[in-house]
Structure 1
Amino acid sequence: MTATLTDTAPPSTAELLTGVLLGPDFRREHGFWQRLISTEPFRRPAGGTPGERLEVAYERLRILNRSLDNGARLAADLRALSALHAWLGPVDPALTTVAGIHYNLFLGSLLDHDAAGRRDLSDHLSMRRIGTFLCTEVAHGNNAAAMETTATYDRARDGFVLHTPNAGAQKFMPNTSPAGGAKSGLVAARLLADGSDHGVRLFLVRLTDDVRELPGVRVRRLPARMGSPVDHCLTSFDRLFVARDALLGDDQGDGPRGEFRTEPGDRRRRFLTAIGRVTPGRIALSACAAGSARATLAVAVRYGGHRLIPGSRGTRPVPVNAHRTHHGPLASAMATVFAMSLLHRRAHDRWEACTGEADRAEAVRLVDVSKAWITWRAREVIVQSRERCGAQALLENNGMTELVTGVEGAITAEGDNIALYTKAAADMLFATATATATATATATATASGEDRSEDAESGDLDDPRFLGRLLAAVEDIWFTRARARALRAPDADALGRWNAAAGPALRGVDAYAYREAAEAYADARRALPDGEARDRVGELERLFAVEWVARNSGDLLAAGFLSPAQVESLAETTEELIAAVAAHAPQLADAFALPAELLADWPIAGADYADAYDDPGAPWHTGPADAR
């Protein structure tokens, strides 16, 4: 008997669009988390004090941990960690924060430093002890390499004495209180032995039991932070002794008992190794910001579709989304949200694929810039979505207020955004000269009408390839200005040279992020089959690029990359693309694949949102039937 193949239905437009956002393997990578947040323990609780909400977050953390087959496997799987952040972020920002710290910064660092598996992690895998990470100090912020907490080797006891020498050296903002249960932490401290400084290393330290901090540890709650109610604290150490095996990576270049070898360059290498989980953390935070932006935008689109307002001159009511003043900002936000999601995947893929130091440096730069760009854009999208929903979106039960404030934490966490942009700007300032010269030449030829044989539609604002060259030209313009300004400053004044270049260089980094996002759009569109999904992505791609070109049209015109007629047509092109995207906004929002249970917990996401305000004791329920 001959076997026959079973026909498989081709993916729907919605499935193709979800694949664009979340990746072609989205069911495997994201399905577990979609199902988890649909279960009762993760449904949105009604109100509660900050303390009660924090208790819920830690209880959910334990439920999550029991749902895993292996917590160590999650900690080692950056795809799963990113998906965790993307789906838990819109549900419970506090849970997302403590889960990211426990699985990525704490467990992930332990696993990275113990490849042989000699350390017993059972307390942390079972969550008998919750893990946290203590790196940043009050006085040092982003300059963690200057930290002052010390771990002095005690030869007699073959261990280390952890000490906080002054107020500025207190560890700042780790979740080290006993809230949620006993805590352990990885403490970054400067290893001192025999009068030598061996650089910043990590030490595994028990911080609290279920009730209070342990001897030698001082924990004080910080003032309430806006947004999610995480137990952020100041933590210090008073000559706390820890055994030799508290030191992570003790077999990496150190000798036998009491011998610590530090060669030139070792201190920086070991510091970067100690905070190595920060880069995966930035990838996860990007996923969280993108997921939160998708959720708020989906709610805004749904609300705008069923919020009716009177039509003009007595015509029947129409959805508020029918008005350009309402759907225009949401269409632009939709193009941005797709760009955020695509840039996150692009940075993640490049990080996983990098080989060698040069590849890794470029991948880290893209991860860093993407984290900053995505979280900044998420703030814009979330605030715009909130505003489009009016006063109801200011109420906690409608899910947006916590995300409005939560994204502020993501902007600062794992490296302040401006610091990440500044580092990228310094690295790219002169390195881009050769690379962008090619892009400039190409864009110049296109704008002047030369080399038309390569692309018959060159110079057309409907052509993504032309738009892509314009985005590359914007990046080149700003870095060219930055280099020129730096070269005009005195050579002996390093700070003056940087200050002269910093403004345009940061604009260049922003343009780099837009270009990378546009290239991710192009890759996604080309990967789709001809049809509706490809058309939708193409419209979003062009709207995203045209709006950025419009913001830089003066510079592009002055540099000869755009003609006056093209600049004049930008406004009309933008309006046409906004209309095209707005017409399909509900379908695009459905591609976010948000579980029905999540949306049901936010009243304004449903057509019957007014029922959430019904009053059973009101006269329309209790009065005589003929009066109702």
Structure 2
Amino acid sequence: MTTIFDSNGPSGAGTGRVADLLATALLGPDARREHGFWRRLVTTEPFRRPLWPPPGPTPDERLALAHARLRALNSALDSAARPASDPRALAAMHEWLAPVDPALTTVAGIHYNLFLGSLLDHDTDSTRDLSDFLRLRRIGTFLCTEVAHGNDAAAVETTATYDPARDGFVLHTPHAGAQKFMPNTSPAGGPKSGLVAARLIVGGADHGVFLLLVPLTDASRALPGVRVRRLPARMGSPVDHCLTSFDQVFVGRGALLGGVQGRVGEEGVFRSETEGRRHRFRASIGRVTAGRICMSASAVGSARATLAVAVRYGGHRFVSGSRPSPPVPVIAHRSHHGPLAEAMATVFAMSLLHRRVLDRWEEAAAGPPADREAAERLVDVAKGWITWQARSVIVECRERCGAQGLLENNGMTELVTGVEGAITAEGDNLAIHSRAAAGLLLEAARDPDEGPAAAPPGGDLTDLRFLGRLLDQVERIWFARAAARMARVAHGDPLERWNEGSGPALRGVEAHAYRQAAHAYECALEALPSGEARERLGELARLFALRWVARNSGDLLAAGHLTAGQVEGLTDVSEQFIAAVSGHLPELTESFALPGELLADWPIAGARYTDAYDDAGASWHTAAAREPAGDAR
């Protein structure tokens, strides 16, 4: 077991030492400070999962539990502003809460990041009273998406018109398509206030989309002028997704979250240091980028937990063969442990890439605009890739657990639906990858002669440097194809040009994500001392790279970067590393540092999982009591 969270510090040798080193690679060198609080929190009440047997809680009861947990979380914090102001704390919160309660993760992420974070970012002179939100007397929510505007949120149609006579703004929803289409806006859980994205109209001029702080509900109903209607239940989620609209709702001038993007002064005149309505909008909703990091963190935490449960269950679920012989654990079969080994390589890649993105984002925050733009693009690429990979891993692990994995008490079904939400939240993956593709294509066009040197045929398929060069080439191949296809279209039709090149360009973004993840593996390996932990991580890194090379082997062969013999040998080399990783799956899951209390709440994670289904009134318990007493003579 890992000991990096124990007060006695890391163990001296053996498996524990390997798990500690790998956990440090996954969670960072300051794991105890960064993750310790959240890891301890999920082992306490009310964060433990309710025990079977059914009936389980209804959706409304689950939502009430999520809000009760939110209040317990807030009470446990030394300051409720900490998650909102510390990106590492915010990411760690999502990493540990997501496997426990996706609904809690949603309401906590909205409150601490999108709501409180935006308020803190824009309250530069500290004049706004945030005490109600810091003490959770009012829960914060965020209303940006509309029925008719999602990924094009810069075009939202809710209006906030400045009224000079009252020195404030009148919020209004002009038609059905402008209703806000967002979660957690009903009175469920307590009084709510929201940051509402609306078009700022001053003196008849449209200055773009800004955020305004608007009270939405009291403890039981929507406030005058605010209309909140529950949407149909969302797949797997008890969170109250709602339609919210406004009918001439007045708020004071101080409700506007201003900054460099613009303010309305005391004289009622709009001024801005930011040119262009789209740039003002992006400055207003800057917290969405942090939200994408949080979606990656949620996906990473959920995938690790699901994989740990699947590995444990595979080790104590015994099956019999066709010949008379002792039963064996199902994980002994290649058909079972192979997919889990590949999932382990992917989960490590996801975790390492997530930490790389978090590091880059923090470093770029105080840097020049070009650095921030590059870091934000990496956030977008990682969010899409990590959440998609998490879905594949979670679904694979669920399947490896058979019918048991479909039962809610074993935790997996919630995580399957939870990751679907992460794929769409803070910008649909396909939309943000399309934006990243445009940026990466432009970057490649500016530096056509830059890029990795050609990988000479005849390299060793077990050499990480050679595999890394192949991953570089895959990215170059796809972006070159995209550029060539777009060049065939006249410059006057940008949509047609994009449609012509978007297919290979999006494959290029996927290749870029794989290359970044492989580089994260490389950096983690360099940080480890020689020994067993480095060997384990090297096996995972090679398996991860080989799977991507195999998927693109035809293109690499055609471009002269692989020989026919190397393509033929890919299967044998991949199987070599599948076998190596499979032999250490239980030890590798120890590096996830999942607390025993968390795993105990999922029956199939324990060797005595059948005890969860025991029946005290069944014949195997009552038969002895029914047998007649023996002859007393």
TM-score bracket for this pair, using the shorter chain length: over 0.9
What's the CA shift for 1:438?
4.2
**Alignment correspondent of 1:522:** 522
**Alignment correspondent of 1:343:** 353
Secondary structure, counterpart of 1:419 in structure 2: helix
What's the CA shift for 1:492?
2.2
Residue 492 in 1 paired to residue 492 in 2?
yes
Residue 471 in 1 paired to residue 482 in 2?
no
**Unaligned runs of at least 5 residues, structure 2:** 1-7, 629-633
Which of these residues, 328, 333, 339, is aligned with residue 338 of structure 2? 328
Q: 512-521 vs 8-17, which deviates more?
A: 8-17
Q: Residue deviations 1:50-89, cap 9 Å, x none?
A: 0000000000000000000100122101101111101100
Residue 39 in 1 paired to residue 44 in 2?
yes
Q: Residue deviations 1:301-339, cap 9 Å, x none?
A: 000000011145212111000000000000000000000
Q: Distance in 1 between matches of 2:447 and 2:519?
A: 16
The answer (yes or no) to whether the contact 2:183–2:239 under 8 Å persists in 1 is no
Quick one: which amino acid aligns to residue 81 of structure 1?
L
**Alignment correspondent of 1:612:** 612
Change (3 A) 1:627 1:357: farther
**Alignment correspondent of 1:361:** 373
The answer (yes or no) to whether the contact 1:75–1:103 under 8 Å persists in 2 is yes
The answer (yes or no) to whether the contact 1:173–1:222 under 8 Å persists in 2 is no
| Percent identity of paired positions between Structure 1 and Structure 2 | 69
**Alignment correspondent of 1:598:** 598
Residue 275 in 1 paired to residue 280 in 2?
no
The answer (yes or no) to whether the contact 1:335–1:541 under 8 Å persists in 2 is yes
Change (3 A) 1:372 1:511: same
**Alignment correspondent of 1:383:** 395
TM-score, length basis structure 2:
0.94
Which of these residues, 111, 127, 140, is aligned with residue 131 of structure 1? 140
Residue 420 in 1 paired to residue 429 in 2?
no
Q: Distance in 1 between matches of 2:480 and 2:362?
A: 31
The answer (yes or no) to whether the contact 2:82–2:89 under 8 Å persists in 1 is no
**Alignment correspondent of 2:589:** 589
Q: Distance in 1 between matches of 2:309 and 2:185?
A: 35
Q: Distance in 2 between matches of 1:332 and 1:588?
A: 13
Residue 20 in 1 paired to residue 29 in 2?
no
Q: Distance in 1 between matches of 2:10 and 2:285?
A: 47
**Alignment correspondent of 1:315:** 325
Which of these residues, 58, 65, 88, is aligned with residue 67 of structure 2? 58
Residue 284 in 1 paired to residue 294 in 2?
yes
Secondary structure, counterpart of 2:29 in structure 1: coil
Q: Distance in 2 between matches of 1:468 and 1:499?
A: 30
The answer (yes or no) to whether the contact 2:142–2:182 under 8 Å persists in 1 is no
Q: Residue deviations 1:270-314, cap 9 Å, x none?
A: 211111000011101100000000000000000000001114521
Q: Residue deviations 1:420-472, cap 9 Å, x none?
A: 110011111232246574445x124x22x6xxxxxxxxx11110000000000
Q: Distance in 2 between matches of 1:443 and 1:520?
A: 21
Secondary structure, counterpart of 1:624 in structure 2: helix
Secondary structure, counterpart of 1:38 in structure 2: coil
Change (3 A) 1:627 1:470: farther
What does 1:88-487 correspond to in 2, within 5 Å? 88-249=97-258, 252=262, 254-262=264-272, 265-354=275-364, 355-433=367-445, 437-440=449-452, 442-444=453-455, 446-447=456-457, 459-487=459-487
**Alignment correspondent of 1:504:** 504
Q: Distance in 2 between matches of 1:428 and 1:574?
A: 30
**Alignment correspondent of 1:532:** 532
Quick one: which amino acid aligns to residue 330 of structure 1?
L
What's the CA shift for 1:596?
0.7
Q: Residue deviations 1:316-368, cap 9 Å, x none?
A: 11100000000000000000000000110111111111111111111000000
Q: 540-549 vs 428-437, which deviates more?
A: 428-437
Change (3 A) 1:8 1:311: closer
The answer (yes or no) to whether the contact 1:177–1:233 under 8 Å persists in 2 is yes
The answer (yes or no) to whether the contact 2:274–2:280 under 8 Å persists in 1 is no
The answer (yes or no) to whether the contact 2:394–2:415 under 8 Å persists in 1 is yes
Q: Residue deviations 1:466-514, cap 9 Å, x none?
A: 0000000000000000000000112222211111100000000000000
The answer (yes or no) to whether the contact 1:439–1:469 under 8 Å persists in 2 is no
Alignment: residue pair count: 611
Secondary structure, counterpart of 1:313 in structure 2: coil
TM-score, length basis structure 1:
0.95
